[in-house]
Structure 1
Amino acid sequence: MTRHPVPGPSAKHAGTQQGVPAPYDGPIAVQLSEAPSGTPSEAPSEAPPEAPLFEEPTDAELARRGANGDQEAFTLLMSRYRAMIHATCLRIVGDADDAGDAVQETLIGVWRGLPGFRSDARFSTWLYRIAVNAALKEAGRQNSRPLPVEEIPERKEPVRSVADRVTDGLSVRRALALLPLDFRVAVVLRDCCGCEYSEIAGILGIPINTVKSRISRARQALADLLRPNDDPGEM
């Protein structure tokens, strides 16, 4: 009687009959070459490539999502600028409580204004414009008015150590409070926020030469206010 050869198990099922899982042949299956029997397989010469690092969303992306009602995106976006917003408002207003109110007004203004924000614009410039307006609104409610630059009094505090003068942010805030509001805002945007002259001009709606003039005069006034009484340069 003629014996017909019985076909052996297919390559797909051969391993499973011997207790070895069959190789995955799905869309991302990796072809591995088997080592000869009795020979240990060699380790790969190179480590597998690392997964790409997570990229933080840009301000524009978070602003777009916030404009669509994504509160989580809005919170993340504001967390990037909240400290700077507070510092800006505090230096313009001069009072901690009023600065806190200005910060809240800024956050509300940003949330309401996000649908109108243009993604091709710089978000920080748009944000500082809102913060400055909120701070100016609070400053307008204060009873005291800053003195003109020509009438700023000389500093009468006793001389202290250099370290004390460097770390005393309160003295800087007091000196800023004596500047005319226009000068104060310009120098804060430049030296606190790091804005370019062109940005400040856009935020305040004034020519760039006016910005430079205000900042120059404000810096000179601050230097006079913060100079120790025994400075050799004073006669």
Structure 2
Amino acid sequence: MTWKATVLTLFPEMFPGPLGHSLAGKALADGVWQLDAIDIRDFAHDKHRSVDDTPAGGGAGMVMRADIAAAAIDTAKAKAPAGTPTIYLSPRGTPLTQAGVEMLAHGPGVILLCGRFEGLDQRVLDAREIEEVSIGDYVLSGGDLAAHVIMDACVRLLPGVVGNAGTHDEESFAAGLLEYPHYTRPREWEGHAIPDVLLSGDHEKIAAWRREQAEALTKTRRPDLWEKHGKAKS
């Protein structure tokens, strides 16, 4: 089965965007994965194709209507492979992790609902059992860029997209650690040399050095990951 991403958006022209280039773009052209961008405005009820209304209880901004969002979601689900999860990109959602990305990449695909305005009517989130996911503790103008992030993270894990599948095993977060430093030619650059151990040819020593570097970086830069790593090992 071909992995399929379905994006519900007010700006379908934003897709595939950057995912139409490089490895993801080649994989899309080769049919390794599929992309369907659905315009939420196609489900509006008026000639102005309005999809939002003022928030109940007052307040600034506008809220995407439940009836319109639900119609778009139901259409997407009908077209997507069975068992495809629906995700609403939201700063209040569960933080995206590499483990979560791997689960999505190993499934049939994903339906991504891109919000705009002040948010989405809570009733449709509850009625359609939609999972909320966040890509970070900040606010974007909409969920479209977040959808690109999730798709890119998933697509690169699909078989045949990245030339050397072993690359994934040593990336940041693969073992709960940040990735070790990398070096390449020239051997010396502006007075800085490649660490001798990397030129030793001793694979055991190189592996140990890389592990030490990954642990040191994680401990310094991401103490939260380091704490989780310690608990996982114990």
TM-score norm. by structure 2 comes to 0.27
Larger helix proportion of the pair: 1
TM-score, normalized by length of structure 1? Answer: 0.27
Instruction: Choose between structure 1 and 2: higher strand proportion.
Output: 2
Give the structure with higher Rg (CA).
Answer: 1
